[in-house]
Structure 1
Amino acid sequence: MANAAVKPMRSDAVRTRRLLVNAASEAFAEHGIEVSVSEIAERAGIGKGTVFRHFPTKEDLLAAIVTDNMYFLVATGDELAEAQDPAHALCAFMSAAIELQIKDLAFCQVAHGVARDHPEVRKAQEKLDAVVEALTDRARRHGVIRQDITGQDITLLMSGIYQTGSPLQATQPHLWQRYLRLAFDGMQAAEAPALPGPPPHTETTATPL
């Protein structure tokens, strides 16, 4: 006997789910993944039981949020793939991904930690990896970056650039742009422009990661 068709969610359930995901996304972005389900429910203005009806575990909720962010980056990459300048497209994508890491404290914690093996996260990661590789391959084919750079190189560089600027995030929130330019100039085949922004303040000592 054929399986019964999956019933679509009612419109009010869809609205509640979106309200919940938005509230959780804001809470996790601001405070990291230690935020409790009770705090999220209160922020969303719904009962704790409603949270678990939509997301049986906290990991499922975290996975829903991080996949939303990943698909945002996938859409960004797909749009940039149509840009005339492949070097600008790759750099703009790296910038968007690093900014997301800065604005969302939970993104890296979830994507590479507690929900890394969640099937929805793995599916989104595969799509994101493909977009990064496509942008990288296009830049390689046009001779604007080194021929031995891979999409995985770019993915690791984006994380490294975020980590490099993060110790001074509170006092110099745009310092990461300096290191993105430094890294990207090192990748380019053409002569590089000057680094943007001021250097780190000499009176500030960075803490180890």
Structure 2
Amino acid sequence: MNILKQIKNLFTGASPAKAVSCNFIFPYATDPEVKRKQIWENLQKGLLFEDTGVLIPWTATYMEIHRIAVKRRDSGDRTNYFLGEHNILDGFHSFVGVMKWADKKSNEPFMYTDEYLGTDDVGNEKFLMLKDKLTALLGTPNRIDLEKFGHNDIGSIEWQQGEIIISLTGIEQFACKYRMYIGLDAD
């Protein structure tokens, strides 16, 4: 069974046709305000892989994530699961990952996905591109806390609605490093 069918069956318990036809809105409306509402509505339920028509619900456990991961990397205090390359958030080509800390149980639901955007100039360019794309898509960020480190931006930008936070972060740790997080508000 191919990976797409495994994902759809795992999270829907149904045929692929049913997985595509229920629980999320896609394709999105062309009107920007309606599209914004649709994307936030989907995000309240989980992360939609737009290219495959699969919604990974926030109720999915680490064990379920383990079953659908295309790659797994264990490193000391954490396990990183790579869920593949997918289009998310109105066509952004993402390398979707989930990290499980060693103290988390396999039957606990995962809280967020993350993507490493890169370092220094390449990471900063992707960070700023996503800032513009997400602002156009989701509206004005709820929080912007940026500063310059040389010619690169570091800090964080957050969009939040309901329990969901989308965060772009840039830190300086021997280089400027950038990530995107999408998931549940931990508070």
TM-score by structure 2 length?
A: 0.31
TM-score by structure 1 length?
A: 0.29
Higher percent of residues as helix = 1
